[in-house]
Structure 1
Amino acid sequence: MKKYTLDQLSRLIDHTNLSPMASENDMKKLCEEAKSYHFKMVAINQVQSAFCSKELSGTDINVGAAIAFPLGQTSIESKVFETEDAIKNGATEIDYVINITKLKEKDYNYLKSEMEQIVDVCKKNNVVSKVIFENCYLTKEEIKKMAEIALIVKPDFIKTSTGFGTGGATLEDVKLMKEIVGDSVKVKAAGGIRNADTFKAMIAAGAERIGCSAGIPIIESLKAEMELNKVDFIEI
């Protein structure tokens, strides 16, 4: 088990608003909340990169752009361009969705090339890369295969879900992903994480980043737990 202060717990959270109807006011609110709670990142649609970058200027909160979101069904060239454009507009983290059709077709060379090209752009620009598997559509063998490819390519994170599929993160999948990549690649859990107990369980299972829109109630709940127990940390 590891001890976490409240701020360390906040820094595990990617504060998320990926609504297609999110306005500039919604984005402003998201960024203000991220600053207030010291979240690690705001997770946004790519088109919001420039706005959020400006709102978060001078802070240590990252701007995370979702690429080929949420289906992942665009060409490698399109994903690379979208990644480069997001970075040009201030994105400091990239979460891209794999081409699930290619995985179903067992076209592993394509998936490796896709990952290599996007991760390469990120590394050249000192930007964090995350690969979204969308596990709800995958078999356990497909999850393992993608994790094995990631072990070769070395993105910063592999990620369970978009939150827009038929299911979100599960403890079983987080454990499986962590089992394959070990400490070589980090795991991000996202989708359906709405309370402190689930948050803690995902961390215990091996997730080192949590994507959710419920970051504020989760942190408030953890703060109340610490105050009740009169401690300055939580063990997970």
Structure 2
Amino acid sequence: MNVKSYLDSTYLKTAEQAGLSESENEIIAEGFVQEAIDEDFKLIMIRPNRVELAKKMIFNANSKVQVGTVIDFPEGKSSIADKLEEALQCIQNGADELDFVCNYTAFKNGNEVLIKEEILKGTQLGLEHHKIVKWIIEVAALNDLQIAAFSALIKDVVVANFKEENFESVFVKSSTGFYKTENNLPNGATVSSIKIMLENASPLLVKAAGGVRTYQEAIEMIRLGVKRIGTSGAKAIASGQEPSSQY
């Protein structure tokens, strides 16, 4: 199995989060882009301010690696207008895929009207520009019933408002990888959460992000049915090693 075709190599740390200077962190980010090119990964997932850099490096290398970025990351609490503005800027800068953080706090508070509107408008913006759209639901912040309901809600909005041919361009994604959990509980994809997402998001696709750390774990996720895996240890996973990063 060519696991590389499933891997979204990911570097989303700010300089502060990485404990580095801005220039040092920029070098790390550039290294991730170059690695994605060298290893022929499906995609490099990068912060919005680095989309143009990634596109330039990929173009200069005559590579087919796609560029993904995150919108309203990592908490997803911004207004819909701000989400759309950030997404449009990323599209203009060359992003191929948009990973929106859903307002999972609003969802937990029962504000389905807001959630449905941001799913509708964000998906519409992405599809109008022929982009892949992913909706991050932050499974570590939810219980099993909420994971099921959130996945189904996204599915229902997309199925009701877009053509069947678009369904494969919309994902439900597990995690940001930055959610703070208590008692060292997983903050990313788990087998149980992914199974729930797969059952309730279909016919939309599912991306497992955060917590997939080994080749065997990646294979297990793929066999469950996920179509993408987000990880900062893509090279290690592809080579059968265990990455040092926790994302």
> In structure 1, what is the equivalent of residue 55 of structure 2?
53
Q: CA deviation at 1:145?
A: 1.6
Given candidates 46, 64, 67, the residue that maps to 1:63 is: 67
The ranges of structure 1 where at least 4 consecutive aligned residues each deviate by more than 6 angstroms after the TM superposition are none
Given candidates 82, 94, 114, the residue that maps to 2:98 is: 94
2:190 is equivalent to residue 174 of structure 1 = no
User: CA separation in 2, counterparts of 1:188 and 1:33?
Assistant: 21
> In structure 1, what is the equivalent of residue 161 of structure 2?
none
Q: Deviations over 1:155-194 (max 9, x none)?
A: 6110000010131100001111111123x11100011211
* TM-score, structure 1 as length reference: 0.87
2:116 is equivalent to residue 116 of structure 1 = no
> In structure 2, what is the equivalent of residue 199 of structure 1?
218
2:164 is equivalent to residue 157 of structure 1 = no
User: CA separation in 2, counterparts of 1:91 and 1:105?
Assistant: 32
Q: CA deviation at 1:28?
A: 2.1
> In structure 2, what is the equivalent of residue 19 of structure 1?
13
User: CA separation in 2, counterparts of 1:105 and 1:27?
Assistant: 36
Q: CA deviation at 1:29?
A: 1.2
Higher relative contact order (CA 8 A, sep 6+): 1
Q: CA deviation at 1:148?
A: 1.3
> In structure 1, what is the equivalent of residue 164 of structure 2?
none
- Give the secondary structure class of the aligned counterpart of 1:90: coil
User: CA separation in 2, counterparts of 1:129 and 1:80?
Assistant: 12
* TM-score, structure 2 as length reference: 0.83
Q: Deviations over 1:186-223 (max 9, x none)?
A: 1000112111111111112221100001111111118x
1:101–1:181 CA distance, 2 compared to 1 (3 A): closer
User: CA separation in 2, counterparts of 1:164 and 1:123?
Assistant: 27
> In structure 2, what is the equivalent of residue 42 of structure 1?
44
> In structure 1, what is the equivalent of residue 107 of structure 2?
103
Deviates more, 1:78-87 or 1:58-67: 58-67
> In structure 2, what is the equivalent of residue 221 of structure 1?
240
Gaps of 5+ in 1: 223-236
Given candidates 82, 85, 90, the residue that maps to 2:89 is: 85
Q: CA deviation at 1:26?
A: 2.0
> In structure 2, what is the equivalent of residue 74 of structure 1?
78
Q: CA deviation at 1:149?
A: 1.7
Deviates more, 1:83-92 or 1:53-62: 53-62
Q: Deviations over 1:64-93 (max 9, x none)?
A: 111111111111110000000011011110
- Give the secondary structure class of the aligned counterpart of 2:12: coil
Deviates more, 1:133-142 or 1:145-154: 145-154
Q: Percent identity?
A: 31
Deviates more, 1:33-42 or 1:52-61: 52-61
User: CA separation in 2, counterparts of 1:123 and 1:60?
Assistant: 20
Gaps of 5+ in 2: 16-23, 159-168, 182-186, 242-247
Q: How many residues align?
A: 215
User: CA separation in 1, counterparts of 2:171 and 2:109?
Assistant: 24
> In structure 2, what is the equivalent of residue 234 of structure 1?
none
Q: Deviations over 1:29-52 (max 9, x none)?
A: 111111111111111111111111
